[in-house]
């Protein structure tokens, strides 16, 4: 097995040490993340918007995800590898079981799925069949057209309560990790206190158990970078230095700062 497993992440949560996640897509970046001590690498379907130039993640296919999971897995033998399932490849439990198996066989040790209540049965079926699941709540980009844009979620009391309830339900169903994207910091902190599985924040404040950023944002490649991200290359001499700075700042609790946070 990998040197980082879900047990490692549970121990880090228990000890209060933050862990670090990077969404990246290729073997060299994956190898560098391993050298920089990044615990988890995610092959995000954000690859549709970064590598492939689409306006959203909706066009991403299973074949594209598999191609990139294989590349990352070749480059990194230590970090836990999570692969995203793209839009509408897990809409039914049957589709989820088949497509999660393909991502695992491509080299991931965990799959990530966007969604709340409706996904609980699927998560339970995957867990029972040996497939670790990272759930993803808040601004779930595959639902961008239902949200009417990339907007912060959980700002009013009703939607905050819904996200908290979904988080509890998915954890009870057997999810192993939970990504919280673009939610107020206080809500992410409350969820992190009230569920037993580790939370990974992006635009969710500093109190989640871990942070995730997209490599293209870390390296300042994004033309209009989101407020929650940071160009770490500005404070480093090279790409390894930028990754090391991101890791150090998450571990020290200085990233995300208030300017990267929604309230």
Query: Which positions lie near ligand KIV, rule CB under 6 A?
Result: 23, 42, 44-46, 84, 179, 181, 202, 212, 214
Total interface residues for Na ion by CB under 5 A: 3
Closest CA to 82 of 38, 119, 125: 38
Cβ atoms of 120 and 113 within 8 Å: the answer is no
Touching Na ion, residues 31-70 (CB under 5 A): 44-45
217 binds Na ion (CB under 5 A): no
Tell me whether residue 158 or residue 223 sits nearer to ligand KIV (CB atom): 223
Closest CA to 22 of 6, 48, 46, 3: 46
Tell me whether residue 94 or residue 227 sits nearer to ligand KIV (CB atom): 227
Q: How far apart are CA 69 and CA 26, in angstroms?
A: 8
207 is an annotated ligand-binding site residue: no
Helix ranges restricted to H, the chain: 6-15, 27-35, 62-75, 93-106, 120-128, 144-147, 157-173, 185-194, 215-218, 239-251
Q: How far is the CB of 202 from ligand KIV (least distance, A)?
A: 5
Show the 3-state SS of 236-247: CCCHHHHHHHHH
56 is an annotated ligand-binding site residue: no
26 is an annotated ligand-binding site residue: no
63 is an annotated ligand-binding site residue: no
Q: How far is the CB of 172 from ligand KIV (least distance, A)?
A: 22
**Catalytic residue among 181, 235, 258, 259, which?**
181
Q: Which does 217 bind (CB under 5 to 8 A by kind): Na ion, ligand KIV, none?
A: none
Touching Na ion, residues 150-189 (CB under 5 A): none
Closest CA to 136 of 77, 176, 196: 176
Quick one: which of 9, 50, 84, 125 contacts Na ion (CB under 5 A)? Answer: 84
Q: How far is the CB of 62 from Na ion (least distance, A)?
A: 14
Closest CA to 129 of 84, 98, 160: 98
Q: Is residue 63 flagged as an active site residue?
A: no
Q: How far is the CB of 82 from ligand KIV (least distance, A)?
A: 9
**CA angle centred on 107, ends 104 and 112, rounded to 5°:** 50
45 is an annotated ligand-binding site residue: yes
Q: Which does 229 bind (CB under 5 to 8 A by kind): Na ion, ligand KIV, none?
A: none
Q: How far is the CB of 157 from ligand KIV (least distance, A)?
A: 25
Closest CA to 242 of 263, 218, 260, 208: 218
Sequence-separated (6 or more) residues with CB below 8 Å from residue 261? 185, 203, 205, 206, 228
Catalytic residues: 181
State the residues that interact with Na ion by CB under 5 A.
44-45, 84
- Which residue numbers belong to the known binding site for 3-methyl-2-oxobutanoate? 45-46, 84, 112
- Which residue numbers belong to the known binding site for Mg(2+)? 45, 84, 114
């Amino acid at each position: 097995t990998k040197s980082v497993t879900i047990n490692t992440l549970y121990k880090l949560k228990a000890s209060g040490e933050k862990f670090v996640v990077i969404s990246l897509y290729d073997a060299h970046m994956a190898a560098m993340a391993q050298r920089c001590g990044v615990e988890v690498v995610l092959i995000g379907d954000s690859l549709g918007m970064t590598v492939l130039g689409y306006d959203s993640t909706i066009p991403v296919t299973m074949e594209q995800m598999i191609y990139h999971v294989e590349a990352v897995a070749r480059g990194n033998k230590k970090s836990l590898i999570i692969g995203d399932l793209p839009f509408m490849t897990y809409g039914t439990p049957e589709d989820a079981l088949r497509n999660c198996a393909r991502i695992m066989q491509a080299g991931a040790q965990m799959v990530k799925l966007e969604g709340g209540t409706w996904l609980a049965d699927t998560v339970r079926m995957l867990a029972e069949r040996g497939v670790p699941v990272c759930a993803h709540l808040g601004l779930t980009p595959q639902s961008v057209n239902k949200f009417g844009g990339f907007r912060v979620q959980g700002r009013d009391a009703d939607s905050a309560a819904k996200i908290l309830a979904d988080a509890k339900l998915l954890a009870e169903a057997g999810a192993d990790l939970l990504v919280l994207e673009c939610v107020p910091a206080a809500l992410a902190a409350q969820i992190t206190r009230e569920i037993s599985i580790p939370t990974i924040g992006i635009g969710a404040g500093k109190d989640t158990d871990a942070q995730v950023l997209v490599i293209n944002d870390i390296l300042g490649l994004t033309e209009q970078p989101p407020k929650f991200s940071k160009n770490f290359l500005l404070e480093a001499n090279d790409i390894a230095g930028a990754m090391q700075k991101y890791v150090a700042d998450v571990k020290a609790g200085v990233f995300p700062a208030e300017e990267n946070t929604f309230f």
